[in-house]
Chains A and B, each alone.
Chain A
Amino acid sequence: MASQAVAHDSEHHAPPPNVDADVVSRELVATTQSASGRFKAWVWGLGILSVAGIVALVLKFIDQGDDSTRWGYVAAMVSFLLSVAGGAPMVAMAPVMAKANWVRPITRIASLFSFAGVATLIMLIPLVAILPPLVTEGARRRTVWYMAPDYSPHFWTTLSLVLLIGTGIMLFYSAALPDFASMRDHSTGWRQRLGKRLARGWVGTDVQWRTLRMRIGMFGTFYFLILVFVNFLISTDFGQSMVPGWRDAIFPMYHTVSGFQAGVAAVVIALYFSRKYMKLEKYIHLDAFWSLGRLLFALTLLWIYFFYSSFIVFWYGRSMNDIATLDLLIKGPMIYAFFAGMILLWFVPWWILIWNKVRRGTAAMVVGSFIILIGLLIDRIRTFVPAWSVPGDQIHEKWLKVIPETVWPDIFDILIMAGGISLVAFIVMMMTRVIPVLSVWQVQEFNLLAKPIRYMKGHATLVAKPD
């Protein structure tokens, strides 16, 4: 791909290159057509793992469908995938609302994760079948569905997750209309036909642009609200309410915040590989990594704050509920997972991301992001596996009197976890073949709104902030 722009990868606040709009369109649309051998090999590998994971999920349901204590790892996986695939698209809207210019070129990568929500839905289906109803043997368990019908968690969680995926896709599609038009105008074959069909007659009139911005704002706001709601349901109905006596008001927020943290980490990883292997250095500036690094750092601190706020109340509270909850989730069978999660989700990323020099680079940022995702997976296992390991006949107790034995993952669980993660990566990679990985119109808007200027004896950037 012949580049007509100048790369500025060595500078932090690099002034945007003066790239002709037509060149931007052609270069970015061309990224959908060229795939290296390595890319194809990865796609095949991930695809095979995804299929293996789905098959393992079906086999597990047939084999262990009547024993809820064996489904903790799948519950942890649902929570993990929701965090990654649900949290990432937030990067496409939260900084945009705050009028941050750096985020414009990378909103597409973030919103591609909306499609990966399908992986969460696949994992949720057997779990919904296994989740006990609210009333068993005449007794109603503790729940946020106080007087609601017995299968409320099952119905509303599924519906809200479907709604979340739908809204995420609509958010993606609303922002992608001009790019489909670019594909229509700059592509050939099936991509051109697809672009023509999905662009819905986009020619860029004032009315179309106004409608586009309104839709992004509307779907973005809905997406955020639904995401918080889904996190609330999954963390409560599929976690907290499975354990007698576990009453933790901050847990849904903790779950949501760690989801945002994972989402940003996933975007950093996707950004890194796109930049490196699709040769997009001149469009993905280091400024984006720097800003994402600050966001990730803030979320890492927020994670430990939420964790500690909960922990100290249990620790000092010393009621039977508090002691049992601590024994189950922290001091008991999950103590090593607790320390590993603490180190990987907070201490190591905090120590990596605190350095400005690190945030100005890409390599350490991507390492930090991988560490966060590993830490999150362990943390989800720490919370959901013990919660599901509580036998069904104890669910109505006042508090947990006997801490269950550690449940180790079996071959199904390992395949399901590998398959679930692979499916997310597979979907995102496949989507880069359908639409440019960077939003063409937002790259152009970024270039239009940021202008390098001389400031006294130095350099600065003049960033326009339209209403």
Chain B
Amino acid sequence: MQQRRELDQVYTNRKLLNGQLDTPKWWLPTVSILGVVVLIGVIVIATMINKGLGLTGLARPVYWGLFITTFVFWVGISHAGIMISAILRLTQAEWRRPVTRAAELLTVFSLLTALVFPLIHAGRPWRIAYWIMPYDVARGIYPNIRSPLIMDPVAISTYLTGSTLFLYIALIPDLGNLRDRTTGWKNAMYTVLALGWRGNPRQWKMQTVGGILLSALMLPIFVSVHSIVSWDFAIASAVEGWHSTIFAPYFVIGAVHSGVSAVVTMMALMRWLWKWDDFIRPEHFDALARLLIVVATGWLAFTFLELTFALYGQDAPEIALREMQMFQWPWNALFIVFFLTGYAIPVPMWCFKRVRTNIALMFWTSILVNVGMWLERFLIIVPGLARRTPFVYTWEAYTPSPVEWTIFIWSFAWVTFLMLLFSKFFPLVPLFEQKESQVFTDDVMIGRAKVPAIVREAD
């Protein structure tokens, strides 16, 4: 399906720069409210760092709770950018064009947010330095650099650097456009950021080659990030439910499921808020939903294998854990919600074209997916630690405290706040991609049928 519309460049510029050249009425109140929530979150974080982790619900034996779950969740969301931008760019999927910027942005901001959680989870964040530097030089106690706990920050910071670069390179032509339409300090800012962009053939060539090279380079990093996050758990053979060889691809495919769903949510919001009906069209939601059906079904297959092989060993503790996860209150309720929202409700709905092209339904189903995916991470991390095992002399049932919930809510407000702030200065839909898609798509007559067509390179 291709709902191609002939849009001239002036109209495209005017519509897609409406966030930067004008301020929509809803923008300031929304940003202010989000700012207040962010401020409250920052105060709570500061208080927790000052008073200690006793303010959280974490207690022996559950030392990894809401913070680590939310960390994994945001790392997962960050997989949207490279999935949409890099993979779809390399496979020349034409429908990716209006989606790329939002996806890349989501990657950068969700990674920034994810990084906060291990830091605050450490209780005294400054002691994170011991991960990298010798703990005690005199006694020769060095951090284990082979540990995924060291590989993790390295992978995430590499991913963050690469994603930022990726976002910036794709932004340059649009920055040149903004430079030519602004005055004063904004003009000065865009002039500096546009790096002398004039749009000559050489610059376009460099920009295109840069994008393709970065796409190829980012792919291994994209895969490694969530794999390494999964190995934080999988190599721990002492915790039932964690020591599974399937965790790496299972986490990656889950992350893509979650990240692409988040992009759908964001696209629906962009279409409604900035009235970009001509640019973000039902065909884009349709394509994303088709992609999501494949990804979600792959993810379900991995879930099946994970559960099957958990029971395969027929080890009593592992079976007891799975019984607890699926049949004991409150885990069973969470498990049902996880399964319904992560797959059983959205995917059958997406099988119908009418749903795939209905933006409101796509918006709500994509939110459902992320509810499910957050619960999935929670169900992986917490029950394994919470199950009563021999030789542990104290147990506290884990219930996340209000402090943890506040910080959890803060993370969503923070990402949205950053997005809206970004939208004030930079276009959320790439202008040049939009214009390029006008040139690269066409309709051809085959017999009596008008068929959408795309232009492919030829040597």
Contact = CB atoms under 8 A, between A and B. Distances in A.
Question: Does chain A bind chain B?
Answer: yes
Interface of A: 11-13, 15, 142-144, 146, 228, 247-253, 305-306, 309-310, 312-314, 316-319, 322, 448-449, 451-453, 455, 458-467
B243 A249 contact: no
Given A319-B237, A322-B237, A313 B245 contact: yes
A142 B313 CA distance: 6
Given A317-B237, A451-B444, A250 B249 contact: yes
A247 B458 contact: no
B244 A253 contact: no
A309 B312 contact: no
Judged by DSSP, the binding face of B is mixed
B50 interface: no
B455 A460 contact: yes
Contacts of B302: 253
Interface stretch (B77-85, B160-168, B420-428, B445-453): B445-453
A310 B309 CA distance: 13
B457 A312 contact: no
Contacts of A252: 305
Given A143-B312, A144-B308, A309-B227, A317 B243 contact: yes
Contacts of B306: 249
Given A305-B227, A451-B453, 10 more contacts: A250-B305, A305-B249, A309-B247, A313-B244, A462-B442, A462-B454, A465-B451, A465-B454, A466-B446, A467-B1
B435 to A, nearest CB: 15
B231 interface: yes
B449 A466 contact: yes
A462 B244 contact: no
Interface in B296-316: 301-302, 305-306, 308-314
B66 interface: no
- Top 7 nearest A-B pairs by Cβ distance? A249-B309, A316-B235, A249-B246, A309-B248, A310-B245, A464-B453, A459-B458
Nearest to B443: A464
Contacts, number: 120
A452 B458 CA distance: 9
B451 A250 contact: no
Contact of A249 (B237, B305, B314): B305
A46 B179 CA distance: 70
Contact of A460 (B308, B451, B457): B457
Contacts of A316: 231, 235
Contacts of A13: 456-459
A135 to B, nearest CB: 13
Contacts of A461: 455-458
Contact of B458 (A251, A317, A460): A460
A459 B457 CA distance: 7
A313 B446 contact: no
A247 B2 contact: no
Contacts of A449: 446, 451
Contacts of A306: 249
A449 to B, nearest CB: 7
A309 B249 contact: yes
Contacts of A467: 1
B183 to A, nearest CB: 34
Interface in B160-197: none
Contacts of B231: 312-313, 316
A307 B223 CA distance: 14
B243 A313 contact: yes
B111 interface: no
A466 B244 contact: no
Given A248-B245, A464-B451, A466-B449, A12 B444 contact: no
